[in-house]
């Protein structure tokens, strides 16, 4: 369950992001993405009820094992690529790919989750919002010159490296 305070949505002008996240979660039936079962609201909050994914975050599994074999990393990356490709077919750019946003089910398959930074863009349209997790940001986002679907493929490369090596390619100390 995800709970969202309405006052924060209004204060931070995130209503559009919340509506897109709801649309993605409600209208996506993909084996490698979390989807929403129900949505409801009270006077102060919005509640997204999603299917429970038993295995926890991929991040937790990676930290426990330090790094994955190439074969295992390919298994996860292929699933993420299919999920990202599906989002792109819906003209949605994900923009926040990282191990914390990937859940693992009880059978060892992944589910992409947390679509709060996603953006709906047409092919020739660009976004200019500076958003995402620092270690995964694509050069286009850093340069603030506009970005589109390729930023997701950049972050998939960063994720692939991290799964195999155990840390992001531009790691310079501190938390990964």
CATH for 58-165? 1.10.510.10
pLDDT in tens, the chain (176 residues): 889 999 988 887 788 888 888 988 888 889 999 988 899 999 999 999 998 899 999 999 999 999 999 999 999 999 999 999 999 999 999 999 999 999 999 999 999 999 988 999 987 899 998 999 999 999 999 999 999 999 999 999 999 999 999 999 987 765 54
- Please tell me which residue in 7, 29, 96, 107 is annotated as part of the active site: 96
pTM: 0.89
- Fold agreement (2-50, 58-165): no
| Coil, strand or helix at 92 | strand
Environment class of residue 71 by beta-carbon count within 10 Å: exposed (0-12), middle (13-18) or buried (19+)? exposed
Distance of CA 171 to the CA centre of its chain: 20
Other Cβ atoms less than 10 A from the Cβ of 108: the count is 11
The question of whether 152 is a catalytic residue gets the answer no
Domain boundaries, the chain: 2-50, 58-165
Domain 2-50 has CATH 2.40.30.30: no
Q: Which residues contact 176 (CB under 8 A, 6 or more apart)?
A: 135, 162, 167, 168
């Amino acid at each position: 369950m995800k709970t969202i305070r309405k006052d924060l949505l209004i204060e931070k002008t995130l209503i559009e992001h919340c509506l897109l996240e709801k649309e993605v979660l409600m209208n996506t039936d993909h084996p490698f993405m979390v989807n929403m079962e129900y949505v409801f609201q009270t006077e102060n909050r919005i509640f997204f009820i999603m299917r429970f994914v038993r295995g926890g975050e991929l991040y937790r599994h990676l930290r426990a094992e330090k790094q994955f074999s190439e074969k295992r990393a390919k298994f996860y990356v292929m699933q993420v690529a299919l999920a990202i490709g599906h989002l792109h077919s819906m003209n949605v750019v994900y923009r926040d790919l990282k191990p914390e946003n990937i859940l693992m089910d009880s059978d060892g398959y992944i589910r992409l989750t947390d679509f709060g930074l996603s953006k709906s863009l047409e092919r020739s349209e660009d976004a200019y919002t500076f958003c995402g997790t620092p270690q995964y940001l694509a050069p286009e986002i850093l340069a603030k010159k506009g970005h589109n679907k390729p930023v997701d493929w950049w972050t998939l490369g960063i994720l692939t490296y991290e799964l195999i090596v155990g840390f992001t390619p531009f790691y310079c100390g501190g938390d990964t």
